[in-house]
Amino acid sequence: MPERTAPVDFSSLIREGDLVVCGQATAEPVTLTEALMARAGDLPCFRMMIGPVFSDTFFAACAPNVSFQSYGVIGNARRLAKAGRLDVIPSNYSAFCSDFAARRHQADVVLVQLAESEGRLSASLSNDYVIDAARGARLVIAEINPDAPFTFGAEWPEGLTIHVRVPARRPPVEFALPPLDEVSRRIAANAASLIADGSTLQFGVGRIPDAILSSLSHARNLGIHSGLINDAAVDLIARGAVTNAEKGIDPGITVTNQVIGTQRLYRFVHENKAVAVRPASYTHGQGVLARINRLVAINSALQVGLDGSVNSETLNGIAVGAIGGQLDFVRGANASPGGRAIIALPATASDGTSRIVTDVETVTTPRADVDAIVTEWGIAELRGCGLAERARRMIAIAAPGHRDALSAQLRGSLR
């Protein structure tokens, strides 16, 4: 189908009650989403399914006929959540993706950003749920972006119809690494002591994962099998710390589900056969993760309870985070030979309150799955510990100014 050069006129394409699904994070097809949001107030009522948001696309859409859904509150999606406009689906990322394949989520219209090389198409920066969503959609609209990298593993399936093609009007969304601070560096130094040569890394997006990756330049024969890769991963690969030689699967290949970073990262992954952007069924699949040698899952949290329960979703009853792939990878690391599951977080929140609490308000990772909790004050090794010993170890890595209060609250709860 030839490309349209004029903007897509969504007035004839969106129907009452439609679920519109678009690529997430840096894979957002901004030419299409901006055109859709510009006309949103003139369209029938429809729902918009989004993931992490790193653009400003959706915040001018004040029309009451548009509702938003997501599997979490990540990036600029927090602005929609704060305005009460985001309905959160509490789901592991792997299950959220598989729900499209099983048609539990039924997309009507799919908007996707694709890269093209020698007549081949690739989903480029994210091999998430859009391909499965497109299989059952009434309408698939693709934005062909010449600045998007062609990635292997994310090839657009032959025979999967694209109904409308349009050229992109801007490069892909970028997400730059946040600057590191002293707390992140101290957390990273503690976490790095748990990561042996030959480990395979999984990590998320944010200051703490970046700090941990930056602290591993001395390591040898690391591998990467992750939900995402970023610019910090390129640094680690460039230093020779990553060889992917000891993973047990995919030798020599960095495996990821998403590519989230800057043009430097995009140039690195473009037609790079040493990088595979694979679907969540592979990157997050428990059977796959259990085959990886020494998988180290590095994730963060909003709170951790004295029993080890992890909250990465809500504060004061408000959704401000996500389940994401945390539980997928924690359980995968626990099943991996020699694996470690690290939850790393600052001991103190920006408002001065303790992130180590007696009880979390939402349980993202149950205490039965927890392994090691890391703050700037140390490491709490919790696997195999009873509740009393867990509490003692958790208090020891809380900020010193909060330890007495936590001890007193613990004693009060035991009466």
pLDDT tens per residue, range 225-260: 999 999 999 999 999 999 999 999 999 999 999 999
Q: How many other CB atoms are there within 10 angstroms of residue 414's CB atom?
A: 9
Q: What's the farthest any 2 CA atoms get from each other in the chain?
A: 73
Q: How many other CB atoms are there within 10 angstroms of residue 79's CB atom?
A: 15
CA distance 168 to 147: 9
pLDDT at 177: 82
CA distance 135 to 202: 29
User: Does residue 412 carry a pLDDT above 90?
Assistant: no
CA 109 to chain centre: 23
Question: Rounded to the nearest 10 degrees, what angle do helices 387-396 and 400-414 cross at?
Answer: 160
CA distance 284 to 383: 22
User: Does residue 415 carry a pLDDT above 70?
Assistant: no
DSSP characters for 222-260?
BEEEEEEE-HHHHHHHHTT-B---SSSSSTT-EEEEEE-
Predicted TM-score (pTM) of the model is 0.95
Q: What is the mean pLDDT of residues 274-287?
A: 98
pLDDT tens across 343-356, in order?
A: 999 999 999 999 99
CB-CB contact of 50 with 24 (8 Å): yes
CA distance 224 to 241: 11
CA distance 51 to 171: 19
User: Does residue 224 carry a pLDDT above 70?
Assistant: yes
Q: How far is CA 301 from CA 94, 204, 237, in A?
A: 19, 11, 26
Predicted confidence band of residue 83 (pLDDT cuts 50, 70, 90)? confident
pLDDT at 321: 95
Q: How far is CA 383 from CA 40, 197, 380, in A?
A: 50, 22, 9
User: Does residue 387 carry a pLDDT above 80?
Assistant: yes
Predicted confidence band of residue 19 (pLDDT cuts 50, 70, 90)? very high
pLDDT tens across 133-183, in order?
A: 999 999 999 999 999 999 999 999 999 999 999 999 999 999 998 889 999
pLDDT at 411: 77
The closest of 97, 265, 72 to 173, measured between CA atoms, is 265
Q: How many other CB atoms are there within 10 angstroms of residue 379's CB atom?
A: 19
Of the CA atoms within 13 Å of residue 239, those in its CB half-sphere come to 17
CA 169 to chain centre: 26
CA 48 to chain centre: 19
Token duo for residue 52: 């992490």
Q: Please report the domains of the chain, with CATH numbers, ordered by start residue.
A: 10-167 (3.40.1080.10), 182-414 (3.40.1080.20)
